[in-house]
Amino acid sequence: MRHLLSVLMENEPGALARVVGLFAQRGYNIESLTVAPTEDKTLSRMTLVTKGEDKVIEQITKQLNKLIEVVKVIDLTEGAHVERELMLIKVKAPTPVREEIKRTADIFRGQIIDVTPTSYTIQLTGTSDKLDAFIEALSGMQILEVARTGVSGVSRGEKLLLV
């Protein structure tokens, strides 16, 4: 099962290495990982996408909590949540397909953020599935580059991840 873990940790050098090291050392899988400071500069928030049986996820959560610099861990997939990923995709856009690419981007609510006579760079936000679907929709085109941020998320409603 796919799980989305949100980790609140001290914004200190080495904290990220500890988390990544933990996953490598214990053979846990990471599909994506994103991290940045929060509104409180002393804290960073990391979102991790991982897959595994419940028992493994339970161990991952406990092991993360055991790291001294980790303040809190929640599994967003345990409850209602929203998640988003951002993608920048650069495609070859010669005249015959320029319109079609633009139409496809519109359908997915993507924005063209950089244009040259022969290429488009499109920005797209959504769930990972939506980003995958967009890449699929462009499969007839020549994709030059894809940069994805990895998934970030929060719980729906009142539920918060705080110190």
Partner 1 sequence: MSEANQQPEMMSGGAMLIRALHDQGVKYVYGYPGGAVLHIYDAIHQQDKVEHILVRHEQAATHMADAYARATGKAGVVLVTSGPGATNAVTGIATAYMDSIPMVIITGQVMSHLIGDDAFQETDMMGISRPIVKHNMSVKNPADIPMMVKKAFYIAESGRPGPVVIDVPKDMTMPNGRFPYHYPTEVSLRSYNPVQKGHSGQIRKAANVLLSAKQPMIYSGGGIIMGDASNELRELAQLLGYPVTNTLMGLGGYPATDKQFVGMLGMHGTFEANNAMHHADVILALGARFDDRVTNNVKKFCPNATIIHVDIDPTSISKTIDSHIPIVGPVKPVIAELIEQIKASEQKPDAEALAAWWQQINEWRERKGGHYKTDNSGQIKPQQVVEAVWRLTKGDAYVTSDVGQHQMFAAQYYRFDKPYRWINSGGLGTMGFGLPAAMGVKLNFPEAEVVCVTGEGSIQMNIQELSTCKQYGLGVKILNLNNGYLGMVKQWQDMNYESRYSNSYMDSLPDFMKLAEAYGHIGITIRHIDELEAKLAEAFSYKDRLVFIDVIVDPTEHVYPMQVPMGKMNDMFLSKTERT
Which positions lie near partner 1, rule CB under 8 A? 9-10, 14, 17-18, 21, 25, 55, 58-59, 62-63, 65-66, 68-71, 163
126 Rama sector, left if φ>0, alpha if ψ -120 to 50, beta otherwise: left
Phi, psi (deg, nearest 5) at residue 11: -80, 75
Neighbours of 98 (CB within 10 A): 16
Rounded least distance, CB 99 to partner 1, Å: 51
Closest contact distance (angstroms) between CB of 9 and partner 1 is 7
Nearest-approach distance from CB 136 to partner 1, in angstroms: 40
Closer of 63 and 125 to partner 1 (Cβ): 63
Minimum gap (Å) between residue 34 Cβ and partner 1 = 20
User: Is-contact 154 76, C-beta < 8 A?
Assistant: yes
Using the Cα atoms of residue 40, residue 70, residue 22 and residue 14 in order, give the sign of their dihedral: positive
And the tokens for 144? Answer: 């030059």
Pick the closer one to partner 1 by CB: 18 or 102.
Answer: 18
Q: Is 53 exposed, middle or buried (0-12, 13-18, 19+ CB in 10 A)?
A: exposed
The amino acid occupying position 53 is: E
CB of 69 or CB of 83, closer to partner 1: 69
Q: Which is nearer to partner 1, 64 or 124 (CB)?
A: 64
Structure tokens that stand for 32 in this block:
């994506």
CB of 119 to partner 1, least distance (A): 38
Give whichever of 38 and 127 is closer to partner 1, judged by the CB atom: 38
